[in-house]
Amino acid sequence: DVKVTQSSRYLVKRTGEKVFLECVQDMDHENMFWYRQDPGLGLRLIYFSYDVKMKEKGDIPEGYSVSREKKERFSLILESASTNQTSMYLCASTTGLAGGREQFFGPGTRLTVL
């Protein structure tokens, strides 16, 4: 069974802290994505990666960076967390050229920045 896991379901951090959100998939997928979900805005793409060590900016990359050192793991980094980064963060993966068809999602990490 397809599985995307995220390191934490809930996270509370303070303004200015460095925050790491981890995502792991066990499907040998080439492509991995980080989204944030906010009420009334749907999902917005932060970054994606189509191969190890490769990354592309999404629609809202400001204030975030990513790391993909291994195929199965994609990390989202908030260098200095701010209150406007309080949100639900969803990781997804898929296979195939140009992103394939179905994206498989993790359960999400609800991050609160105080």
Partner 1 sequence: GEDVEQSLFLSVREGDSSVINCTYTDSSSTYLYWYKQEPGAGLQLLTYIFSNMDMKQDQRLTVLLNKKDKHLSLRIADTQTGDSAIYFCAEKRLDDYKLSFGAGTTVTVRA
Query: Residue from 8, 58, 77, 95 that binds partner 1 (CB under 8 A)?
Result: 58
48 contributes a contact to partner 1 by CB under 8 A? yes
Contact 81, 62 (CB under 8 A): no
| Strand-pair partners of 104 | 93
Site string for partner 1, 63-102 (x = CB under 8 A): ---------------------------x-x-----xx-xx
Rounded to 5°, angle at Cα 74 from 100 and 28: 50
Here the tokens at position 15 are: 């303004």
**Stretch near partner 1 under the rule CB under 8 A, chosen from 11-19, 28-36, 61-69, 71-79:** 28-36
Could you tell me the smallest distance in angstroms from the CB atom of residue 19 to partner 1? 19
